[in-house]
Amino acid sequence: MDDQLRMAAENGDVDALYAKLADDPYILDRIDHIPIVDTPLHIAAVAGRTHFAMEVANLKPSLAWKLSHMGLSPLHLALKHECKKMVRGLITLNAQLIRVKAKGMITPLHYLAQNEDADLLAEFLSACPSSIEDTTVRCETAVHVAIRNGSIRCFKVLVGWLRRVDKEDVLNWKDEDGNTALHTAMVKLLVNNVNMNVKNLDGLTAMDIFHLQGPLQNTDIGTPLFDKRDKYFGINTKNSNDTRTVILVVAILIATATYQAGLSPPGGYWQDDYIPPPANNGTTTTNNSTTSLGQGQRAHRAGQMIMTPSDLFYFLIINGLAFHLSVWMILVITLGLPYSKLLSTSTFFLLLAYYASVVATFPTLGSVRFTDGRLLYITLTYISTLAVYYIPLRAFSQHRKLKRRVDTMRGSSLLVTPEN
């Protein structure tokens, strides 16, 4: 850049600017043809020369879009040096300057969101509503940026504005890690505006993160999250903790009843072994009368269930389904609580015990229906047992991964990691 023009920009000398233009009318045009350059606008922004910057932006509006060698636009520099008069002047000339993406694809809106200037942020949103849709190189919205940097006032302004203009879906947008704003920080203000079922790339919802973050849990944040989950399951109560307790008790009762029913099926068990005798050898004659041995009985062994094949199969399928679902509910509700891993392990052995007891008492002699039914039931029960246990097993794996991540984070219950 010409030294005289640079000096004029540093001093804010508008007369010197026009004198230079009189000598060289195309000087701004030549600067404009350079893709990455420090323009007089950049220099004026650093020096806080508002009037000079406005004159240049008026003469050559395209210079306001240029990025310097540091990857910053004049508006970014004006914000960085807290020259609010220049900031307001530039967005008055062209509100779309709010969407200029600097290094890291950070717009002036993102910059404000991380620097706790809620008033100017509100002005930006009013001047250029579409700027809320811009994302950084990390795919972060202004909401992500505000939360990550602990800018609570800006965060509240952003959420309030999104609600007012009916753009709450922006809160469900994911960053490069698949996290929505709620995954980034489970904040009470977000609960009524965000889809609670959205999962990140680790398969975790915001509720999962709350359960697994251990010592960083915050009851003020957790309570509305639990309320949201209870409403999702059709539960309407003011005390969600009591509701979960009731559900847990009912699930335990169902598990107990179905487990006992599986061990004591209707009709009971055979008390003896019986194998039908060969043909013509199954009768005995006494005083010219014939008495049938085992008439009406089928082949069986002592300790096996007496029920007929069709009744036995339907009973065990329905009872087993109720048992497995109740056990699954117990594991889901207790997930993340102290000793939940030990509880999950003991529950798995309970499932195996149930599986073993039914298999051991399932009839092994008799018709093909018994043989096929036994094989089918054993297969279904084995698959159900593994399926029920897989859920908490995967959850505990996610818990360890998340705990390692949380242990490296600094900050409060918002899981905020401020940039240095």
For the domain that residue 175 is a member of, what is the CATH number? Answer: 1.25.40.20
- Residues 114, 188, single domain; the answer is yes
- Residues 96, 120, single domain; the answer is no
- Residues 95, 105, single domain; the answer is no
Scan for tokens 């085992």, then name that residue.
294
From 86-90, 95-99, 148-152, the region with the lowest mean pLDDT: 148-152
| pLDDT per residue as tens digits for the range 364-401 | 655 545 555 566 666 766 676 666 666 656 656 665 66
- CA–CA gap between residue 145 and residue 325 (Å, rounded): 41
Residue ending a domain, choose from 54, 82, 100: 100
pLDDT of 350 reads 80
Cα dihedral: 87, 88, 94, 97 (round 10): 30
- Residues 185, 44, single domain; the answer is no
| pLDDT per residue as tens digits for the range 88-98 | 999 999 999 99
Instruction: Place 197 in a pLDDT band, splitting at 50, 70 and 90.
Output: low
- CA–CA gap between residue 316 and residue 302 (Å, rounded): 19
The pTM of the full predicted model, rounded to 2 decimals, is 0.47
Higher pLDDT, 352 or 40: 40
- Residues 377, 310, single domain; the answer is yes
pLDDT of 221 reads 42
- Residues 221, 190, single domain; the answer is no
In a domain? residue 130: yes
In a domain? residue 285: no
Q: How many CA atoms lie within 13 A of 129 on its CB side?
A: 8
Residues 6+ apart with CB under 8 A from 400: none
Q: Are 354 and 388 in contact (CB under 8 A)?
A: no
In a domain? residue 3: yes
Residue ending a domain, choose from 68, 100, 132: 100
pLDDT of 116 reads 75
Residue ending a domain, choose from 167, 197, 227: 197
- Residues 372, 225, single domain; the answer is yes
Picking from 134, 371, 336, the residue whose alpha carbon sits closest to that of residue 229 is 336
Instruction: Place 183 in a pLDDT band, splitting at 50, 70 and 90.
Output: low
In a domain? residue 279: no
- Residues 418, 323, single domain; the answer is yes
Q: Are 330 and 347 in contact (CB under 8 A)?
A: yes
Length of the chain: 420
- Residues 166, 239, single domain; the answer is no
User: Domain count of the chain?
Assistant: 3
pLDDT of 268 reads 83
In a domain? residue 129: yes
From 4-8, 146-150, 277-281, the region with the lowest mean pLDDT: 277-281
| pLDDT per residue as tens digits for the range 101-135 | 999 999 999 999 888 788 899 999 999 999 999 99
- Residues 211, 358, single domain; the answer is yes
Q: Are 148 and 184 in contact (CB under 8 A)?
A: yes
Q: What is the mean pLDDT of the chain?
A: 75
- Residue 23 CB neighbour total at 10 angstroms: 9
Picking from 216, 155, 162, the residue whose alpha carbon sits closest to that of residue 188 is 155
Q: Are 170 and 145 in contact (CB under 8 A)?
A: no
| Average pLDDT for 243-253 | 79
The strand pair at 283-286 and 289-292 is best described as antiparallel
pLDDT of 294 reads 44
- CA–CA gap between residue 361 and residue 381 (Å, rounded): 14
Q: Are 154 and 181 in contact (CB under 8 A)?
A: no
From 4-8, 158-162, 197-201, the region with the lowest mean pLDDT: 197-201
- Residues 266, 364, single domain; the answer is yes
In a domain? residue 278: no
Higher pLDDT, 49 or 214: 49
Cα dihedral: 48, 51, 52, 54 (round 10): 110
Q: Are 42 and 68 in contact (CB under 8 A)?
A: yes
User: Can you give the residue range of the structural domain that contains 115?
Assistant: 101-197
In a domain? residue 283: no
Tokens coding 145? 């940026």
pLDDT of 137 reads 92
Task: Please state, in angstroms and as integers, the Cα–Cα distance from residue 203 to each residue in 95, 120, 147, 232, following that order.
Answer: 39, 37, 21, 19
Q: What percent of the chain has pLDDT over 90?
A: 29
> C-alpha angle with apex 59: 57 to 60, nearest 5 degrees?
65
Instruction: Place 191 in a pLDDT band, splitting at 50, 70 and 90.
Output: very low
- Residues 310, 236, single domain; the answer is yes
| Average pLDDT for 209-232 | 46
Q: What percent of the chain has pLDDT over 70?
A: 66
pLDDT of 208 reads 57
pLDDT of 65 reads 94
In a domain? residue 96: yes
